[in-house]
């Protein structure tokens, strides 16, 4: 012990309560090595153990007015250190969960962005394919496949037979399919129309 001759732990704690920095220094010298070993066993990290030990003595200093000088100091010191370490570990665990959730969201967001990009690309290709059709074939195809009208409704609208509508749809579908195939998007085309 580094205490002055004849000075009890209770006397040192009284001095600490009165704001005597050398009393804190004295307690630090007495307990630092054992406290560090205790914290290191739990923390498994020398850096974290150092931080916890330093923070523990800072907390003791900040709450020195509440110390009961009639009770042994060591249990108080170890309780403060253990609680502080557990709070840090809990916070670190919580932060890992948050980081994990952010990573999952980022991955999901990237996947959504990829899907949106693919959709926009395929939509542009579809529009280009439709524009490449003859005007009448384009109108019939858009009414049936895009707008969802029946063959009968389209036939009445354009004054043609349902057979002609069917023939126009077959030709337009082949043309659009070929347009998609030349761009390597055959499966996407089938998802849209079949």
142 and 126 Cβ atoms separated by less than 8 Å:
no
187 and 193 Cβ atoms separated by less than 8 Å:
no
Domain boundaries, the chain: 9-97, 132-193
For the segment 135-162, the average pLDDT, to the nearest whole number, is: 90
For residue 103, what are its two tokens? 């990573």
CATH code, residues 9-97: 1.10.1740.10
Tell me the whole-structure pTM to 2 decimals: 0.50
Flag whether pLDDT at 1 surpasses 50. Answer: no
Q: What is the pLDDT of residue 124?
A: 81
Flag whether pLDDT at 191 surpasses 60. Answer: no
Flag whether pLDDT at 44 surpasses 80. Answer: yes
At the topology level of CATH, where does 132-193 sit?
A: Arc Repressor Mutant, subunit A (1.10.10)
């Amino acid at each position: 012990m580094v205490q002055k001759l004849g000075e009890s732990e209770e006397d040192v704690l009284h001095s600490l309560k009165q704001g005597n920095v050398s009393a804190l220094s004295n307690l630090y010298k007495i307990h630092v090595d054992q406290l560090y070993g205790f914290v290191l066993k739990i923390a498994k990290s020398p850096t974290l153990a150092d931080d916890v030990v330093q923070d523990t003595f800072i907390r003791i200093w900040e709450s020195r007015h509440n110390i009961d000088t009639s009770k042994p100091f060591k249990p108080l010191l170890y309780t403060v250190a253990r609680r502080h370490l557990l709070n840090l570990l809990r916070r670190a665990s919580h932060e890992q969960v948050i980081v994990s959730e952010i990573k999952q969201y980022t991955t999901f967001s990237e996947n959504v962005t990829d899907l949106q990009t693919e959709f926009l690309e395929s939509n542009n290709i579809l529009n280009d394919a439709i524009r490449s059709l003859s005007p009448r074939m384009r109108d019939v195809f858009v009414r049936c496949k895009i707008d969802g009208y029946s063959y009968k409704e389209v036939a009445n609208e354009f004054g043609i037979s349902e057979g002609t509508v069917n023939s126009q749809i077959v030709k337009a579908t082949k043309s659009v399919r070929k347009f998609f195939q030349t761009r390597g998007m055959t499966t996407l085309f089938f998802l849209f129309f079949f």
